[in-house]
Amino acid sequence: MLRREKQVRCEVEKKLAKKEAKERQPQLSSASHLVRAPTPTGVRLTEEALVAVLNREMERRRQEEEQRAVEARRIQQLETERLRRQSLDSTEPCL
């Protein structure tokens, strides 16, 4: 138990040190690439920018899902056609 406590304390101290180091350095926020503009960490993104980011992400996911559905239908059609041909081949009388 004591060992786990030390491990957790060590992890927390590392995270705090990392956070303090980040605060000392002016950097760009991680969301800046989403709004396609550099945003200093001290400046908050506007609500409109956040909505735009969310909308783009939702649209991207919708398109990916739609593409997966189209691909699944195509595969299903190919498999159905293959099975139909196989069934026809097996029922044709040998000449």
Q: What is the mean pLDDT of each run of 10 residues along the chain (95 residues)?
A: 78 80 60 54 70 90 95 96 90 66
Same domain, 41 and 1: yes
Residue 71 and residue 34 share a domain: no
Q: Are residues 37 and 60 located together in one domain of the fold?
A: no
What's the structural domain count of the chain?
Answer: 2
Residues 40 and 74 in one domain: no
| pLDDT for res 76 | 96
Task: Name the DSSP class of 44.
Answer: P
Could you list the residue range(s) of the whole structural domain that residue 4 is in?
Answer: 1-45
Residue 51 domain-assigned (yes or no): no
Interacting residues of 38 by C-beta distance below 8 A, sequence separation 6+:
28, 32
- Amino acid 58: pLDDT: 93
Same domain? For 41 and 60 the reply is no
Q: Residue 35's closest CA among 44, 27, 26?
A: 44
Q: How far is 12 from 35, CA to CA, in rounded Å?
A: 32
Q: Residue 64 has what pLDDT?
A: 94
Residues in a beta bridge with 28: 40
The answer, as to whether pTM is greater than 0.75, is: no
